[in-house]
Structure formats: structure tokens, C-alpha cells
Structure 1
Amino acid sequence: MDGKSVRVISTPGPPCWKVYVDGAVNQRGFGVGLVLISPEEAIIEKSLRLGFSATNNEAEYEALLQGIAMVQKMGGKAVEMFSNSRLLVGQVKGELEARDARMQEHLSRVKRLQSGFDFFNLSHVPRSKNTHADSLATFATSSAGDLP
């Protein structure tokens, strides 16, 4: 070192939520799983059974929409979301086109909701890194009644 001091200036961003989402469709039903991690690292797990039939891709969108809504209800302004659906991530990022009218509607709902954040990012994760949300989504399909 030449003796000169080095300073690092860092401006902290808004407190950021992390949300892992997954959808599940099988012969028993339709569900979504969410794992929300608050900026303070509190973990919230959610299994939601969908009250309507959906394709697997629509269930993935429903999981994303539920995650966004939950973070907004808790006052979050920054969120980093993770999904193992390449289609979902590609469409939201504009890398893939939503051709089907129902998928276009889901995509436009996501775009409307994400504009309410100061920071929003959606990343693809391998299925092996999303097993918690996947288990919660599968659990939602296994219960005929309402989940607690």
C-alpha cells in the first residue's frame, strides 16, 4: 500500500424482502407455496390452495402475485423474488413473450403490482434451491379443506 487511505462509501438501500415462490398442479388440486424472508430474517411460510383450476404456469403466476401482495401488505418497498419457472421469469423480464391471453393477463397484473416497489427483482433458481416453496405448494394441493 502506498499509505493513502481508502474510503468506501456505501448507501444502504431500502430493507429488502426475499420471497421464494412455486406453484403446483396435480390430480388432487392446485396450490402455491411461498417462503418470505423479512429484512430482519423472520421466515414466513405460506401454503395456499387455489379455489379454481389452473395450468402449472398459471399456478406459478398466482404464487408470484400472492408473494408480491403479501410483501406490499406488510409495507415492503424492496423485494427480491425467486422462482424455478424459466417461463415465468423470462416473461416478467421481457425475454420471453406471453402468447396466451390468460398468461398476458397474469403478466400485466405482475407488471402493475411491481411498479409499486422502489426495488423489484425476479431471478430464476434451480428447482433444487426452491424445495421449501415447492413442498409448501405440494402440501396445498394435498388438503381438500382450508389450510390454517
Structure 2
Amino acid sequence: MALSEFSLQYVPQKAVKGQALADFLAQHPSPYKFRGNDVEIGMVETRDNYWTMYFNGSSTSVSAGIGIIIQSPTHNLWYFSLKLDFNCTNNQAEYEALVIGLNVLYDLRATLVLVLGDFELVINQLNKTFRCMSCTLAPYHMVASYLAESFDGIIFKHISLVHNTDANELAQIASGE
């Protein structure tokens, strides 16, 4: 409505030829600096040579637990559900899940890793969008950052809880929720 006072003419864009798209991608490299064929189109993502980890933590007034799902580049899956034997906050439980998952990936000799979690605070702290100001979370953040450096490439990506239900259920089962 705001633009109706101007005499604008709509002209549909011509189809992009395959070579033009290839030239554009060659001139605009990925900011993630990963090797392999990494393509993301909407909700479809291919991850050649990537290990993928979903993680979640759950804390109740009685106990806490974590859920981790690891997928290899060949699509093998490992499920982990662990009860934590100490009291902690939900934030600490999330970091516990992340740190344990990164240790498992390191032991599996993963080199390229995609870490997916629904807890925005943890993901944004590791992506350096947020600073870790909490005294209780700082040690977890430091360990997770140190472990992240042991991989050739790592991406921390926030996903909605809807896409992390399996890890969430594993964490809730472990915490007795």
C-alpha cells in the first residue's frame, strides 16, 4: 500500500542458468570454511563427512539428566541417556550434555561436527553471540570451547524443540521427569 503512489512495474526475473549460479557460489565462499560438499537449501541439509550431535539437558528439583544423539557420516546412530548424580540447574545440565557429547565425538575421532541444540543460551554463547557472564556456567563454557578447538570444523546451530524431541525425551527419562 505504501508503494502504490509510485508507478512501479513488476518484471519477473529470468531463470538463473546453472553456470551463473556456479559462478556466484565460487565468488562467494561459505563463511564456515568447511571442506566437502556442504549444501543447505531451506530445511534440507546435506553433511558430507560430518558427524551430527543433538543434545539436551533436563533438571528437576529431584534430579537431572542428559540426552545425546550422535549420527555418523554413514548415518549410524548412537543414543545416550545419562542421569547426573549431582544437583544442577537446567543451564548446567545443557552444558553437561554438550561436554559429554563432544567428548564422545572426540573419542570417535570425528573431525567435522555439526552440533544441534534447542537451548539458545548455550548455542549463542559458543557462537560468541552472547558472552558467558555466569560464574556457574563459565567452567562449562571454557571446557566446551576447549573441546570445540580439537575438531577441524565445528558448527553450533540452534534448532527448535520440535526438531530435538528425541534428545529431549532421553534427557527427561534420565532426570525422572
TM-score range normalised by the length of the shorter chain: 0.7 to 0.9
Task: Summarize deviations over 1:70-114 as a string: whole Å, max 9, x none.
Answer: 011111111100010010011111111211112111111111101
- TM-score, structure 1 as length reference: 0.86
Structure 1 counterpart of 2:147, one-letter code: L
Structure 1 counterpart of 2:90, one-letter code: N
Correspondence for 1:24: 58
CA–CA distance in structure 2, aligned partners of residues 96 and 51 of structure 1? 29
Matched, 1:44 2:78: yes
CA–CA distance in structure 1, aligned partners of residues 87 and 155 of structure 2? 28
Matched, 1:130 2:130: no
RMSD: 2.0
Matched, 1:12 2:46: no
Task: Summarize deviations over 1:15-74 as a string: whole Å, max 9, x none.
Answer: 210000000011341000001101110010000111111100010001110110001111
Q: How many residues align?
A: 137
Correspondence for 1:79: 113
The structure having more radius of gyration, on CA atoms, is 2
Show structure 1 runs of 5+ residues with no match.
1-5, 144-148
Structure 2 counterpart of 1:93, one-letter code: N
Q: Percent identity?
A: 25
| Secondary structure, counterpart of 2:136 in structure 1 | helix
CA–CA distance in structure 1, aligned partners of residues 140 and 61 of structure 2? 23
CA–CA distance in structure 1, aligned partners of residues 66 and 58 of structure 2? 6
Correspondence for 1:3: none
CA–CA distance in structure 2, aligned partners of residues 51 and 119 of structure 1? 32
CA–CA distance in structure 1, aligned partners of residues 99 and 59 of structure 2? 17
Off by >4 Å, runs of 4+ in structure 1: none
- TM-score, structure 2 as length reference: 0.72
Matched, 1:68 2:102: yes
2:90 to 31, 56, 65: 56
Show structure 2 runs of 5+ residues with no match.
1-18, 27-34, 38-47
Larger RCO (alpha carbons 8 Å, 6+ apart): 1
